[in-house]
Chains A and B, each alone.
Chain A
């Protein structure tokens, strides 16, 4: 019997010694910031079959090419398809993991076809009017709320 115990413990010991240490963190503790976007919708929504998704994105620089490409390039923080059809109001939280960071173009985008590239800007964060996008800066640990209005009858200028 002792032999069996020794064999068992030996096998387990070998396995445990040979195994890695398990998961471990690879970076420092994240000190994220939160950008809380309160979206207000006015006027009637378009037909439901044309609303494939409503997303919120914060761009570090105003996009110069397709929104999706800018996202892939790392120019933005995104909450994809974060708003359901027909709502009049919704809070969307963007997690800013690399604060401090400044965002110069914060928008609500409408995906109007079954193609992720088919996006239209329908709301922009601004201080005064829709033609001059507002800018926000977030430091680690910040939590900032902004409001964006989406008027289904009056879209802001498209970025390109």
Chain B
């Protein structure tokens, strides 16, 4: 029986057979009869399924007499119909007029529609990486509602302030594999292959019940694209320069400071074997003196279909860079040069290597196992003599192993469970040579017994093991509810725990840099959080207009937050301590309006009330208001995009920073306007796109962080092409 008869049609070829029951089909866009490539085809209530190939074709088999086939693809209405006997069918999918049931994987470690999850999730589409000339994922995250990036610290709804780049409070994943360094537990954005990002998913709120340590404030999951069905060669070349500032005394060079880069990628699937590979180079001459950087990175993803039910992936990421060691400015009057006397010959060498494997096996129609294993190695050094007080060097490897088992118990109940082992092993003069083990196990049950209600309940236990320190186990429960009022309106609620074990750098750092000295505190406890969220989403359609509205309110509590404390023992001495108890409550409104395919307007407003309950003040380095807007107008082959972001100023910063940083206490709102103009072309038989892009078009001067001017106006030109 066909449930959405006005949205799709089935056209027909049925060839009876008396052998095994199988369906060989083809999925077409009903409007233009083009094949729909990459649509997921599944047998309801089982784990069996297929993905349509470049011709839109799929094939599935079943021993059952009759099955319900479900076909889903972003941008199209869901198809659901019952089939009997061996048949060959041609199915026409109807595009949504405006909306798509966007599929995500990060909320519950399984593929599901974004509307069906109980927690707020934002996604960044790959098209936006191109339009905004994104060279690193951290820059892309700055456009996500409710997210701020403070010099490599990803702050989801205020979860993180500024911690000298140490100890991420959001777990950072690539296809579910964690990429946090063993020593600092920080994010190395430059290892991610921009060319092969399919989308970025950001889950907001504590997520340790599934993801364990570091998911204190949320989850950032980079989803890479599958190898292309046909040979695809991609290239992106870009270059641009910073304009002068309005104030001549800030202009420290007569030359234009340029950024340039090149990405080359190749992808193809040969029968059962698929490969995606890319190489990137990036050269940055910063708007700040002593902030240059050169980077080379490579990426290789291989997949192999062992049989119809099992598949294996092996992925390699590598990046090497040399950067200047900019920390803070000379003063507001000399805002783009480092403090006088800084040794500008010091450079930071940094290498990163990640190798991850994944084995996925459909054991039966109702169960599958998914095993991830791999390592992430990082190294950095400022290449000073070892007896120099500012010598810094560390190398570490984070090993990861996670077997996951999923079971559809019956029509209404499904289970996901798994174990996890993370081993952080570092060999460092800056920190210490030490090993940290974190073991965890989780189980989550999803129930759909009540009509239109999806309920999830889960629990995870984790235990950190260090050589000479006793730690307590952590238990992280979660509860989620999503109720569909009708086809267009959902309400949701979630509750969850989060935690983050102290990084080895926070425990053992003994380092000096530019006037500061960090001392160790090995007895740090884990940070903890609790998140509650209530949300509402609605899709409103009238004629050619589509409006999507999402409103959420949240309350996040944090305990034992680890913060760098200045003035321990001496004025410029820093020690990481569990000092802060905090509460962040707020609300977020997201609104997305589309008119046909020509015009889009996306706006989000996030209000945060970040209270430091320890000292009864606002939490440091948090904005109260984040207001992000995007306007896109397409008149093919052209596209114009405007992004405007407003971030209110921080109310609190570290007063002790005044000992080292001039004008440390400046506070200012941020108004950032970006502009891009793109033109699509079939230049020389290729699919090409030319983009002119201006970041901070107003040349508005605001702060990235204390003593750090944010990027000034940057004009860029980019060519992308695909063969």
Contact = CB atoms under 8 A, between A and B. Distances in A.
Interface of A: 1, 4-5, 8, 11-12, 15-16, 19-30, 32, 34, 52-53, 79-84, 87, 90, 93-95, 97, 111, 114, 116
Contacts of B153: none
Interface of B: 246-247, 249-250, 330-335, 339-341, 387, 389, 512, 515, 517, 569-573, 593, 595, 598-599, 601, 629, 631, 633, 642, 644, 646, 659, 666, 668-669, 671, 673, 698, 700-703, 709
A23 B341 contact: no
Given A4-B593, A16-B673, A79-B515, A116 B341 contact: no
Given A8-B601, A20-B668, A116 B570 contact: yes
A95 B337 CA distance: 14
Contacts of A82: 389, 515
A12 B340 CA distance: 39
Contacts of A4: 593, 595, 599, 601
Contacts of B671: 15-16, 19, 22
A53 B573 CA distance: 9
Contacts of B673: 12, 16
B644 A26 contact: no
Given A29-B249, A32-B340, A81 B333 contact: no
B644 A81 contact: no
A23 B712 CA distance: 11
Given A23-B332, A53-B573, A16 B698 contact: yes
A10 B599 CA distance: 17
Contacts of A80: 515, 570-572, 659
A11 B633 CA distance: 17
B631 A5 contact: yes
A82 to B, nearest CB: 7
Given A4-B601, A23-B332, A29-B249, A81 B573 contact: yes
Contact of B702 (A1, A22, A84): A22
A92 to B, nearest CB: 9
A94 B341 contact: yes
Tell which of A21, A22, A83, A116 has the most Cβ of chain B within 10 Å. A22
Contacts of A24: 246-247, 701
A114 B598 CA distance: 67
Nearest to B603: A8
Contact of B646 (A15, A32, A34, A79): A15
Nearest to B666: A23
Contacts of B703: 23
A79 B387 CA distance: 19
Contacts of A15: 644, 646, 671
Contacts of A19: 669, 671, 700
24 contacts: A1-B598, A4-B599, A12-B644, A15-B644, A19-B671, A20-B668, A22-B668, A23-B666, A23-B709, A24-B247, A24-B701, A25-B247, A25-B249, A27-B333, A29-B334, A53-B569, A80-B570, A81-B573, A82-B389, A87-B387, A95-B340, A95-B341, A97-B340, A116-B571
Given A23-B332, A25-B250, A53 B570 contact: yes
Contact of B333 (A5, A8, A25): A25
B209 to A, nearest CB: 39
B410 to A, nearest CB: 47
Contacts of B633: 5
Contacts of B571: 80-81, 116
A38 to B, nearest CB: 13
A145 B572 CA distance: 25
A97 B663 CA distance: 14
A21 B670 CA distance: 10
B335 A25 contact: yes
A87 B330 CA distance: 27
Contacts of B334: 29-30
A20 B387 CA distance: 48
A93 B247 contact: no
Contacts of B666: 23
Q: Which of B668, B671, B709 is the most central at the interface, judged by chain A CB atoms within 10 Å of its CB?
A: B671
Contacts of A16: 671, 673, 698
B416 to A, nearest CB: 42
Contact of B332 (A26, A53, A95): A26
Given A12-B629, A23-B702, A81 B570 contact: yes
B629 A22 contact: no
Nearest to B339: A95
A84 B389 contact: yes
Contact of B341 (A8, A28, A34, A52): A34
Contacts of B669: 19-20
A111 B331 CA distance: 28
Listed from nearest, the 7 A-B pairs whose CB atoms lie closest are A84-B389, A93-B341, A22-B701, A29-B249, A23-B701, A95-B340, A32-B340
Given A19-B700, A81-B572, 6 more contacts: A5-B631, A12-B642, A26-B333, A32-B340, A81-B515, A114-B570
B601 to A, nearest CB: 6
Contact of B631 (A8, A21, A84): A8
B389 A90 contact: yes
Contacts of B598: 1
Contact of A111 (B340, B389, B570, B629): B570
Contacts of B698: 16
Nearest to A35: B341
A95 B330 CA distance: 10
Nearest to A90: B389
Contacts of B570: 52-53, 80-81, 111, 114, 116
Nearest to B331: A30
A26 B659 CA distance: 20
Contacts of B340: 30, 32, 34, 93, 95, 97
